[in-house]
Structure 1
């Protein structure tokens, strides 16, 4: 089952994600991620979090399930949303939001992507972040899209590509990273030996 989480922080424009909602079975709002969904006219199935940054009028008209978490808690609002998705049987999770905000929240979200392999895609206001796993495969992008690749696991790589301006030739990205690379055309061929990577495609 595919789930979508709307979390706090800056997220993508609705036009960039509207088609995704037709392919998900579960929508969960993490605290102020509810405000985005209400603005888009989308009713989540669940709202989780402590409610400290939700517009009060959005909660007052709620039709979804919501049991507020305490302010002092062991999990972030985003992780509570991930746990809710897993409890409901999700095996793939798309995360939207979490961009251009507090650095500690951003780093926490990166930690969530590393911890929960079910997260396949993360979209902020300026990036589409795809999680790459070992294997041979193709990703699709607009020509000249700016791309950066970061290792997600402790032992990731080596990596080989075809389709980047600066190709990766069996490079071990544990020692280096491909920052602000670009795709030549619309396809990139990947060969990843082990470990997972974050592929950040930047758009305006």
Structure 2
């Protein structure tokens, strides 16, 4: 459902929503997210790969500085939602404007490092908006209060703190219990699964990276309602 009222989410759904950006998109990436979501939203220039694939986005959100007229003209005007301020990225504008149990994002990883860092920062900033990003080799998400995943033993499970955060784990080669992780300090990249992995976090701020094949597991974990959720940050 599209909401036209200001200061309210632009798109609402009780099911996962696919969000497409204008970054690197692998050959199967669009299909992987679109078969898992009925509603498809584009963040600014992310409308281009959708239109070129034959799928008109249900909504386009952003400052429209990357949306070329040859693509924009194919989209009904009532699906265009410009947000002109320049204090946030198009990914941020789109994510904060979607109200759904989960957002599946593609076209936000790879390419320019500064763009990727801004995207990852938004995952933490918008801690109340569950979002899973599909990368070339992994999926990335902001750790909820708890999550359990069946990762093949020996495969990588990486944790990276964007804020000071602690937690606990089961099924990791190097447990995180009693560790305090923070930017510029202790991090948890290149850990490995030994068995089913269970993670808990005592506060928002931790990013989790697991193999790409775990996309459906991560999706189902969030949709199960068993992960818990973080409240919106005060602005």
TM range (shorter): 0.7 to 0.9
| Cα displacement (A) at 1:203 | 5.4
Asked if the contact 1:139–1:189 (Cα under 8 Å) also holds between the matched residues in 2, the reply is yes
Q: Is residue 163 of structure 2 the alignment partner of residue 170 of structure 1?
A: no
1:40-90 alpha-carbon deviations (Å, 9 max, x no partner): 4332111122433335432232246125455x63332212212332xxx43
State the TM-score, normalizing by the size of structure 2: 0.68
State the TM-score, normalizing by the size of structure 1: 0.77
Pick from 74, 95, 104 the counterpart of residue 105 of structure 2: 95
State the secondary structure of the residue aligned to 1:158: strand
Cα 1:172/1:158, change in 2 over 3 Å: farther
Segments of structure 1 that go 5 or more residues without pairing to the other structure are: none
Counterpart CA distance in 2 for 1:124 and 1:40 is 19
Segments of structure 2 that go 5 or more residues without pairing to the other structure are: 1-13, 214-235
Q: How do 1:119-158 and structure 2 match up within 5 A?
A: 119-135=130-146, 137-154=147-164, 156-158=165-167
Asked if the contact 2:167–2:199 (Cα under 8 Å) also holds between the matched residues in 1, the reply is no
| Cα displacement (A) at 1:39 | 4.2
Counterpart CA distance in 2 for 1:69 and 1:160 is 40
**Aligned residue pair count:** 195
Q: Is residue 52 of structure 2 the alignment partner of residue 49 of structure 1?
A: no
